[in-house]
Amino acid sequence: MKPTLLRLALALVLLSWLRVSAAAQDVSFPDLGSAVPGHKDVTYLDLARMVIPDLAPNADGFYHGGLPIEMRHIEGPDSGGSPPETSSLPNAAVLAIKAGGKDRFTMLFDLGDSADSAEGYAVLALYDLTGKPALLDAVNVAVDRSTYFREPNKLSVGAGDDILVTMSTHFNSSQSYVITPLIMVRNDKFELIDMIYTFDERLCAYSRKQDIALRAIAGGQAHAAIKATVTDATVPSEESCEDAPPKASSKDISVTYHWNKKASRYVAGSDALKRLSAENEKRF
């Protein structure tokens, strides 16, 4: 199977696995050739070309292009790899957000495999569409092979501010590895809040799944606290297996991020999710 078709097949499987709910409908996947609402003379392709200058439609129904513009990785200068020399896209994920009290627009492009890294390469772009469309920022948010917006996609932490939730993943027949970055926009630039690492596995005797729930906790501050809860559940199977199944169990691991005014960033209230990540790594 061609790499592009393989990635598309993986995306369809992943979407089914996530069981995307109505809450995820804030993200859309318009044809890049269609007009941007409120800008009849501007298409999504025009916006995409601010990131991939030579992107163009092809007879195969995909949009093809070369290298994107230079950009940093969301984790910092020591993270991420180089973009692929050519990219092929069926569309892009788009999401309107609030940032600094202003209307902003984001697009997420998964460009495929990185040229020199086991991770993929995915561009998260920020636009101002209130006047003539302008690209404000673009970062590589890939931290694994395939990258998407993750439900709830965005979370309101104030009257005029949303945080973004993406995810990078790879999986095989029995294991799923997921990394969930929490990203804010400050001064029209993307900033990483934290990465949440989860690991699912399905064996003969049992399955173990780790789901993430996010919610904002209003407290009268300019930036609401963010509570992230990972529910780690083990469910024994009814299969006849060599190993005895474990008992059914479920536990919640939670961390609350509070805005630190002095540091001007969100700070985790504990290292519980980092400890979970370390425990998961021992199961790989």
Which of the four pLDDT bands, split at 50, 70 and 90, describes residue 243? confident
Contact between residue 134 and residue 153 where contact means Cβ atoms under 8 Å apart: no
pLDDT 10s digits, 78-100? 888 899 999 999 999 999 999 99
Q: pTM for the whole thing?
A: 0.89
With H, G, I as helix, E, B as strand and everything else as coil, classify residue 160: coil
DSSP class of residue 114 equals -
Which of the four pLDDT bands, split at 50, 70 and 90, describes residue 21? very low
pLDDT 10s digits, 176-216? 999 999 999 999 999 999 999 999 999 999 999 999 999 99
**Mean pLDDT score of the chain:** 90
Structure tokens at 105: 């627009």
Mean pLDDT of 217-246: 91
Phi, psi dihedral angles at 237 (to 5 degrees): -90, 170
pLDDT 10s digits, 127-175? 999 999 999 999 999 999 999 999 999 999 998 999 999 999 998 888 9
Report the alpha-carbon distance of residue 187 to residue 209 in Å, rounded: 37
The answer, yes or no, to whether residue 27 has pLDDT greater than 80, is: yes
Exposure letters 81-116 (e unless 16+ CB within 10 A, then b): bebbeebbbebbbbbbbbbeeeebbbbbbbbbbbee
CB atoms near residue 13 (< 10 Å):
11
Supply the pLDDT for residue 62: 93
pLDDT 10s digits, 101-111? 999 999 999 99
Closest alpha carbon to 167 in 150, 184, 153: 150
Please state the domain extents for the chain. 3-281
